[in-house]
Amino acid sequence: MEPEDGVLWRRARLDDADAFGLLFERHADAIYNFCFRRIGDWSTAEELLSVVFLEAWRRRDKELPADKVLPWLYGIATNVVRNQHRSRRRFAAALQRLPRPRAERAMADTADERLDDERQMKQVLSLLAQLPHREQEVFVLCAWFDLSYQDVAVALEIPVGTVRSRLSRARGRLRELVPGSGHEVESQRERAEEVPEP
């Protein structure tokens, strides 16, 4: 039986790379999926995954409650993604200032499935991009990754009430953007907690 996150984190804080490696193995898929869902590109998500865990290792002196390691990693990932968006904008602006290169044939991607995933994710991200960034962050963590309000509050370092209000506004705006689409904007956790009215 592997130790819990809190135990592994305490060991990692003492420079135990093996304990940190176990945390990576345990949470890498979740953080990778988070990055992909925010960026919409598999290869960039892989790069950002590395950046998130590198930053976590760099900040390993931080004390965390035993059950808050994953929410804290989501918080780091949120900031890494935010920085990536800024970098992309700066890079795009710099490219606009350069002379246009001669067109060359693009190599075909061998993974059609990945292209389909990326295309669909880009469509979803274009809708999500119409929300304010703060609402996007809360919506993604609550609805896509099923974090509790408390865990999102830890990840983003904001009060629980702020999480609730941002999530409510995000859902309302998404319903307006996609009326009658049948898309769910609630998390699995919230649907399970709903009590039918008598």
Tell me if 105 is assigned to some domain: no
Q: Determine what percent of the chain is predicted with pLDDT higher than 90.
A: 48
pLDDT (tens digit, 9 = 90+) per residue, 34-62? 999 998 889 999 999 999 999 999 999 99
pLDDT (tens digit, 9 = 90+) per residue, 96-114? 665 554 544 444 445 567 7
φ, ψ for residue 140, nearest 5 deg:
-60, -45
Tell me if 104 is assigned to some domain: no
Same domain, 93 and 32: yes
What is the CATH number for 187?
1.10.10.10
Rg over CA atoms, the chain: 19
Range of the domain at 84: 1-97+112-129
Task: Say how far apart CA 198 and CA 184 lie, in whole Å.
Answer: 23
Tell me if 192 is assigned to some domain: yes
Same domain, 78 and 3: yes
Same domain, 117 and 161: no
Buried b (16+ CB within 10 A) or exposed e, 79-108: bbbeebeeeeeeeeeeeeeeeeeeeeeeee
3-class secondary-structure state, position 194: coil
Same domain, 72 and 153: no
* pLDDT over threshold 70, residue 125: yes
Which has the higher per-residue pLDDT, 116 or 163? 163
Question: Which residues, 6+ apart, have CB-to-CB distance to 132 below 8 Å?
Answer: none
What is the CATH number for 48?
1.10.1740.10
Tell me if 10 is assigned to some domain: yes
Tell me if 6 is assigned to some domain: yes
Same domain, 125 and 141: no
